[in-house]
Amino acid sequence: MIKDLWEKYKSIIAYLFWGVVTTVVNLAVFQILSPGLHWNVALSTVIAWFASVLVAYFTNKVWVFGSHYTTISDFIVEILRFFFYRGLTLVIDLIITYVGIKVLKFDTPFQQFIVKFIDNVIVVIANYVFSKWLIFKDNRDIADK
């Protein structure tokens, strides 16, 4: 019974675990740059995004979706797809961060953390949908052959 549940939900469990790791990377980099070093919120968001997307790509590729591409061209297509869809969620990230911090004035370090935390929950859900059905989809076909 437990083994059946694990088999049924293992990609979601792995995605959530690595999503937490990715979120910690995103939040830590953002907190260091924006409230810590007083860098621009948008620039801090983009740098935090890039760092967390690199972590997310490799953890998703290996431990969540089990990507089986072996050629350089397949790898390039996969990583470009990954960054493209993560770029779409970066737009969501920037909008939520801007509205929360600049428009609603949640601008103390703790308030910025809360805005980024809520933002990351929304982004993680969107990223899972994109990864599961649009990015690593073809890899399931390869693994099944």
Task: Answer for the pair 52, 23: CB distance below 8 angstroms, yes or no.
Answer: yes
Mention every residue, 6+ apart, whose C-beta is less than 8 A from residue 66: 139, 143
Structure tokens at 81: 């797809």
> Which is more confident, 9 or 24?
24
Contacts of 7 (CB under 8 A, 6+ apart): none
Per-residue confidence band for 136, with pLDDT thresholds at 50, 70 and 90: confident
This prediction has a pTM of: 0.73
C-beta of residue 93 within 8 angstroms of C-beta of residue 71: no
